[in-house]
Amino acid sequence: MLAVQGVLSGRMRRKSNGGTCAVEPRSGELFADGFWDRPLDEVDALRAQSKVHRSTLTSGVRVWVITGYADAKRALTDPSLRKDARTIHAIIDRQQTQPDPMAQVAGILDTHMLFLDGLDHSRVRRIVGMEFTRARVEALRPRIEARTTSILDALPVDGPVDLVSAVACPLMLAVICDLLGIPANDRELFNEWTQAVMVQDGARTVRATQALNSYLSTLIDHKRFTPDDDLLSVLIHPRATSDRLSTEELLGTVFLLLTGFQTSANLITTAVFQLLSHPGSWNRLREAPWFLPTAVEEILRFDSPMRTTTHRYTTEPVEYGGQPIPAGELVVVWLHAVNRDPDVVRCPDAATLNLERSPNSHLSFGHGAHYCFGAPLSRVAAAVVLRRMTRRYPEARLVDVVARHAPNAIMNGLLALPLVLGPDVARPREADL
């Protein structure tokens, strides 16, 4: 989530690290030494200590972190926890010791439903929801399949391939461009800006956000008069309601939808990593593709593409996990911790990857009013890639068994995932997939 980063990690002091945003850890707290080498073990240990934690990031921003499943579900539907962007920024600003360069584009990045409450939120969500439907996602499926096939066709089978830069990111950027109706000639620039916006890297991100904002304003003007069938056109001219999004709301919505590129790319990458690091899983999916949807849910649960939800703030004193939290404090849910909470009903082996787990009540797409809009799209894209890759490359293997996590407080992505694919056995029969 782009604006989420803007608020959660982006509004904190940053240092550039391999093109990703790094929130500097304060020793002994959430991101203590060694955290990024074994983030899942670390959150399991954190939750075992307590279901609610007070954490201070090195920027000085203090948040309450919920690590228990039952508390998380309650928090994500609690009317005392709200999301209004201005209040969240005001709370963070009170804690900041340095001016934040991203503040000048916060208004662009945060004017959308994820930072609205109550009726304002439900109005925007309703308009977007009437057009961003499951049917629209299903209509995109053949293009997702065709794009995946052509990306895989171009990969070398003998040398190492970086799944992040060669498959997951280009595929998901293309899918989001298809969804929004970004003209083919503009895609290279669009991709460049989008990647720069995502890294949350001070001046570079500010410039890219402004350039993208100006490009999208022009595109919206163009589509007002020459609409097509893409999501942006139908959001400009909703068919199912007379209510309209303002230009600012449209722009904010597009910026929010763009963030789906990164989370979905993360899902593809962590899925391949987890399958190849759990012996037998890759071939199991190859031989029994009908349980792919169940396997995708389990990977979402086990290694969620987002580490935490976005910020909420308390409007009155509340209590979580026996811990009183005063009014005016920031709260986040640590999704990795709550998904692996063994106290969840019927999830006693929560720290184990079980590709056939059902039911699977993970919170990786959130819960309650702000439940993720992009869940169906991400599930389709992940299933398409996994089906094709397991089918085509039975001997695929990791070059390095240790995952190199991007040190980002909210996004759970890998900096790179080098693979040797081995022989491509299915290319001639691709049409059968």
Positions in the binding site for ligand HEM (CB under 6 A): 1, 113-114, 125, 256-257, 260, 263-264, 267, 305-306, 309-310, 364-366, 370, 372-374, 377-378
Euclidean distance between CA atoms 146 and 165, whole angstroms: 18
Query: Given the complex with ligand HEM, which of 125 and 336 has the nearer CB atom?
Result: 125
Strand partners, 15: 22
Minimum separation from the CB atom of position 366 to ligand HEM (A):
3
Q: Kindly state the smallest distance separating residue 357's Cβ from ligand HEM, in Å.
A: 17
Residue closer to ligand HEM by CB (options 120, 153) is: 120
Sign of the torsion formed by the C-alpha atoms of 266, 269, 273 and 274: positive
| Closer residue to ligand HEM (CB): 330 or 421 | 330
* Smallest gap from residue 263 Cβ to ligand HEM (A): 3
CB of 123 or CB of 222, closer to ligand HEM? 123
Tell me the Ramachandran region of residue 127: left when phi exceeds 0, alpha when psi lies from -120 to 50, beta otherwise.
alpha
Q: How far is the CB of 249 from ligand HEM (least distance, A)?
A: 12
Taking alpha carbons only, the member of 366, 371, 268, 352 closest to residue 308 is 366
* Residue 245 near residue 356, CB atoms below 8 Å: no
Spatial separation of the C-alpha atoms in residues 70 and 245, rounded to whole Å: 35
Minimum gap (Å) between residue 156 Cβ and ligand HEM: 27
Residue 154 Cβ vs ligand HEM, minimum distance, rounded to whole Å: 24
Nearer residue to ligand HEM within complex by CB, 127 or 421: 127
Q: Which residue's CB is nearer to ligand HEM, number 301 or number 424?
A: 301
Angle at 373 between CA 134 and CA 297, to 5 degrees: 80
CB of 77 to ligand HEM, least distance (A): 10
Residues 6+ apart with CB under 8 A from 236: 220, 223, 224, 227, 245, 250
Q: Please name the amino acid found at residue 250.
A: L
Q: Give CA–CA dist 145/33, Å, rounded.
A: 41
Min CB(191)–ligand HEM separation in Å: 15
DSSP conformation letters of 150-167: HHHHTS-SSSEEEHIIII
Distance of CA 349 to the CA centre of its chain: 25
C-alpha distances in angstroms, 185 versus 48, 181, 316? 52, 11, 51
Q: Which is nearer to ligand HEM, 39 or 305 (CB)?
A: 305
Residue 418, classed as helix, strand or coil, is strand
**Whether 364 contacts 301, CB under 8 Å:** yes
| Shortest spacing between CB 131 and ligand HEM, in angstroms | 12
Comparing CB distances to ligand HEM, the nearer of 36 and 115 is: 115
Our CB check for ligand HEM shows the closer of 111 and 421 to be: 111
State both tokens at 334: 């640590």
Q: Enter the tokens of residue 293.
A: 């949807």
Element (H, E) at 54: strand 52-56
